């Protein structure tokens, strides 16, 4: 099956949940990432119970702040 | 308001645009934009807004110019090191365009003063050029509660992001990011670095949104997060849903008063502007 993560296609051998996908897709700061599946937010509490299916579009949205000096 | 001959010449490349024209330029000249943070994002944003003829620009920053700022904070010059950033910013804008009236606020934005600053000139649009999450959430909450549109942006390393909030027209920053990450959980530019031009790219996108809002033209980045990766030279526009359970703009908001997230005092020197 294939899903897209931040616009890039990713082949998966078996269905995985969001928590596993964060590892497979090498998400930065997985504890603080906002996840969207097919244009809907997925709560952190639901990461383990939410599985991705063929054709799903997943977005990892990251905090971007910075530092002045 | 009617444009003087000098203004007709200064803004001629705007006026020739069918989406702007003389009427649009008058809207820009009577526009009021508040730029919070005169650093990597706020510096180029304020300069383009000033050059465009935004008649009233507010600059908020509590910090002084540091030599390490000059790699990206282009509103400040070498001789400004040690000077209050808002004073340095005002001087640069004054030299650029006499049509612009600059209001400066040499202070840190807090729950106690942010609404007064926004109200001071009844700003039309707010531009978040801050570098830290407590300030970003405060600006979001203040704009939602004051029903003011604003532009969010963030930059780090070779990456940036921006979104625009317009009351009633899409998600706010808190819909996407519920609360600030713990201190040091997410690297800062100081820790991770940032390519100087990132502020120019994202800050100029923010200024573009402010001008489009004043003109009432085009589609704003409401309901979208625009992300930019300079290494792959990729822009992506990610659609954002509204979060009905959002703590500040949702159906049953739990945040109805402004509050400050704690900022360790040792970090206060870093909270002015990216």
pLDDT exceeds cutoff 80 at B269? no
Domains by residue range for chain A, with CATH: 2-61 (3.10.20.30)
Q: For residue range A31-61, what is the model confidence (pLDDT) as tens digits?
A: 999 999 999 999 999 999 999 999 999 999 9
Which chain B residues have a beta carbon less than 8 Å from that of A7? 236
Q: Å from A64 to nearest chain B CA?
A: 5
Q: For residue range B247-262, what is the model confidence (pLDDT) as tens digits?
A: 999 999 999 999 999 8
Q: pLDDT band at A69, cuts 50/70/90?
A: very low
pLDDT exceeds cutoff 60 at B268? no
Backbone φ, ψ for residue A51 (5° rounding): -100, 150
pLDDT exceeds cutoff 60 at B207? yes
Backbone φ, ψ for residue A29 (5° rounding): 40, 60
Euclidean distance between the first and the last CA atom of chain B, given in angstroms as a whole number: 36
Domain-by-domain residue ranges, chain B?
19-270
Average pLDDT for residues B70-81, to the nearest whole number? Answer: 97
Give B270 or A32, the one with higher predicted confidence. Answer: A32
Judged by a CB distance cut-off of 8 A, whether residue B66 touches chain A is yes
Instruction: Pick from A5, A27, A68, A69 the residue to mutate for testing the B interface (most B CBs within 10 Å).
Output: A68
pLDDT at B263: 67
Judged by a CB distance cut-off of 8 A, whether residue B177 touches chain A is yes
pLDDT at B191: 76
Which chain B residues have a beta carbon less than 8 Å from that of A65? 131-133, 136, 154, 156, 186, 188, 274
CATH H-level superfamily of B19-270: NAD(P)-binding Rossmann-like Domain (3.40.50.720)
**B32-36 β-sheet, strand order:** B101-105, B56-60, B32-36, B125-128, B150-156, B159-165, B224-229, B234-239
Decide if B154 and A7 are in contact by the 8 Å CB cutoff.
Answer: no
- Whole-number Å distance between alpha carbons of B125 and B167: 11
Q: For residue range B115-174, what is the model confidence (pLDDT) as tens digits?
A: 999 999 999 999 999 999 999 999 999 999 999 999 999 999 999 999 999 999 999 999
Which chain A residues have a beta carbon less than 8 Å from that of B136? 65
pLDDT exceeds cutoff 50 at B110? yes
pLDDT at A67: 45
Decide if B189 and A68 are in contact by the 8 Å CB cutoff.
Answer: yes
pLDDT at A65: 84
Decide if B241 and A7 are in contact by the 8 Å CB cutoff.
Answer: no
Q: Global pTM?
A: 0.94
């Amino acid at each position: 099956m294939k899903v897209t993560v931040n616009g890039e296609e990713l082949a998966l051998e078996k269905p995985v949940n969001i928590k596993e996908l964060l590892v497979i897709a090498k998400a930065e700061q997985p504890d603080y990432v906002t996840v969207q599946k097919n244009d809907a937010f997925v709560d952190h509490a639901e990461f383990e119970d939410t599985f991705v299916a063929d054709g799903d579009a997943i977005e990892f949205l990251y905090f971007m702040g910075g530092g002045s000096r | 308001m009617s444009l003087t001959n000098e203004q007709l010449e200064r803004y001629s490349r705007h006026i020739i645009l069918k989406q702007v024209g003389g009427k649009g330029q008058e809207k820009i000249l009577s526009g009021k934009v508040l730029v919070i943070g005169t650093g990597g994002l706020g510096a180029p944003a304020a300069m383009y807004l000033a050059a465009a003829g935004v008649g009233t620009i507010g600059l908020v920053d509590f910090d002084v110019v540091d030599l390490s700022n000059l790699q990206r904070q282009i509103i400040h010059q070498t001789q400004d090191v040690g000077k209050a950033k808002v004073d340095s910013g005002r001087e640069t804008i004054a030299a650029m365009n006499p049509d612009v009236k600059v209001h400066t606020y040499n202070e840190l934005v807090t729950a106690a003063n942010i609404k007064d600053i926004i109200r001071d000139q009844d700003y039309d649009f707010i531009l978040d050029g801050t570098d830290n999450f407590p300030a970003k959430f405060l600006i979001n909450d203040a704009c939602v509660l004051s029903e003011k549109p604003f532009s969010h942006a963030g930059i780090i390393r070779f990456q940036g992001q921006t979104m625009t909030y317009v009351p009633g027209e899409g998600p706010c920053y808190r819909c996407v990011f519920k609360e600030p990450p713990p201190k040091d959980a997410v690297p800062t530019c100081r820790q991770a670095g940032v390519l100087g031009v990132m502020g120019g790219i994202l800050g100029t996108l923010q200024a573009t949104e402010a001008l489009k809002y004043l003109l009432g033209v085009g589609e704003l980045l409401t309901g979208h997060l625009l992300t930019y990766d300079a290494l792959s030279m990729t822009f992506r526009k990610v659609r954002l849903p509204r979060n009905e359970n959002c703590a500040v703009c949702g159906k049953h908001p739990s945040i109805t008063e402004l509050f400050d997230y704690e900022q360790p005092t040792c970090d206060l020197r870093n909270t002015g502007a990216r």
